[in-house]
Structure 1
Amino acid sequence: MTNIMLPLKYNQGHSLSMKVIAISGSPRKDGNTDDALKAALNEMEGRIPGLETEFLQITDYHIEHCRGCRHCMTHVECAIEGDDLDMLVGKMHGADLFILGAPIYWWGPPGVFKDFIDRTHGFYPDERRFHGKKVAVISVAAQSGFPSHEKTMKWLEHYGAEYVGWLRLFAREKGELLQKPGQLKKLTAFANELVSL
């Protein structure tokens, strides 16, 4: 499903210092989720000259598990130090649009991505942490169903981000997505909607 309403910082194909970050929550590098995100970025780059994009792989970052200590509820920060959470969140603050991508693993995103989601609970009292940021989501599944995945992936709404579009693609084996013209057509249309008023 696509549902885009996105008047961002560009008009008529001209970038005004806009940055788009795609974050892959898949533990399988160069799999269908990565392929989808990279294809979306390439399509957007072709439509907006000078657009700055960055592809981030969640498994390239060391993110500790949430420990449930609830330190964040009184200090507006996470008690865990020494991992890459702040680095990844800092990159997100430098972007105008995030494209979050994750496969569906038994009703939800993979554990490596859920660790990241859980750790942002450390910002819980700061409901404007991502105010003004736009978010689009690409999920990849072997079959239909699993509605709870969408609910989990909308966690940034709590921090003021605006979700502007959602696309679900279907592929299982590594590289399969790129061999499905119908799925690629949907992906291209989705990326084009992200750069259209």
Structure 2
Amino acid sequence: MSKNILILASSPRKGGNSDILCDRFLRGAQEAGHKAETIRVAERQIGFCLGCDHCKRHEGACVQHDDMAEILKKMIEADVIVMATPVYFYTMNAQMKALIDRTYAHYTEIRGKEFYVILTAADSSLDMMTRTVESFRGFFVCLDDAVEKGVLYGVGAWARGDVSKTPAMNLAYEFGRSA
């Protein structure tokens, strides 16, 4: 059965290690017959949540008029959501965190989704990635019927392209095919 897959690639470094793994996931998903799309979060205008609760008083309408409404609609429509980030100081980058916080207006509508997490980091220790993964799990636990399908660790990848020499490449493709 074909699925609607949304890949949220948050790295500001276009063509970097996170993007490389997202592209591999995308290729696997498309070759398996899934409808898949990548949104480069860093190329979109997404303001941080103001905590004003305007959205709660106005049927989910945010006071900010940026790209988040479109992205949120796609998240609600997706069957599978891939959230990819480079690891900065052992957590997700600011672009991904802003996106997660801005789901507040409609997060109760992001239900029944399968999630994959893609992390890239210079550090090669998987244990040190725990904080980052737990940050994503903190988001997932707030969503109804969210299912974590896999975490992909593109570790030991400092320079652009380093991840291409790691087993994460094959796993990204296989995750995409099996999504």
TM-score scaled to structure 2, two decimals? 0.84
Larger Rg: 1
Query: 97-106 or 76-85, which moves further after superposition?
Result: 76-85
- Cα offset for 1:57? 0.2
Letter in 2 for 1:175: G
Counterparts in 2 of 1:193 and 1:35: CA distance versus 1, 3 Å:
closer
Asked whether the equivalents of residues 106 and 146 of structure 1 are also in contact (C-alpha less than 8 Å), the reply is no
Amino acid at match of 1:188: N
* Residue 186, structure 1, aligned to residue 168, structure 2: yes
Residue 141 (1) aligns with residue 121 (2): yes
Residues 135-174 of structure 1 aligned to structure 2 (within 5 Å): 135-143=115-123, 144=125, 145-154=128-137, 155-160=139-144, 161-170=146-155, 171-174=157-160
Q: Give the count of matched residue pairs.
A: 173
Code of the residue aligned with 1:107 in structure 2: it is Y
Aligned partner of residue 108 in structure 1, secondary structure: coil
Partner-residue secondary structure (3-state), 2:142: helix
- Secondary structure of the corresponding residue to residue 167 of structure 1: strand
State the one-letter code of the partner of 1:40: F
CA distance in structure 1 between the partners assigned to 2:35 and 2:62 by the alignment: 33
Shift in CA distance, 158/75, structure 1 to aligned 2, threshold 3 Å? farther
Cα distance between partner residues in 2 of 1:166 and 1:75: 36
| 1:60-116 per-position Cα deviation (integer Å, ceiling 9, x unaligned) | 211111122244455563542311111001122232111111010012111122111
Work out the CA distance in 2 between the residues paired with 1:76 and 1:158.
19
Q: How does 1:110-125 map to 2 (within 5 A)?
A: 110-123=93-106
The whole-number CA distance in structure 2 between the counterparts of 1:146 and 1:135 is 17
Q: Which structure: greater helix fraction?
A: 2
TM-score (norm 1): 0.77
Q: Is the Cα contact below 8 Å between 1:107 and 1:146 reproduced in 2?
A: yes
- Against the structure 1 CA distance between its residues 76 and 156, is the aligned structure 2 distance closer, same or farther, given a 3 Å change threshold? farther
State the 1:166 CA deviation.
0.8
Instruction: Specify the alignment match of 1:104 in structure 2.
Output: 87
Q: Which runs of 5 or more residues in structure 2 are unaligned?
A: none
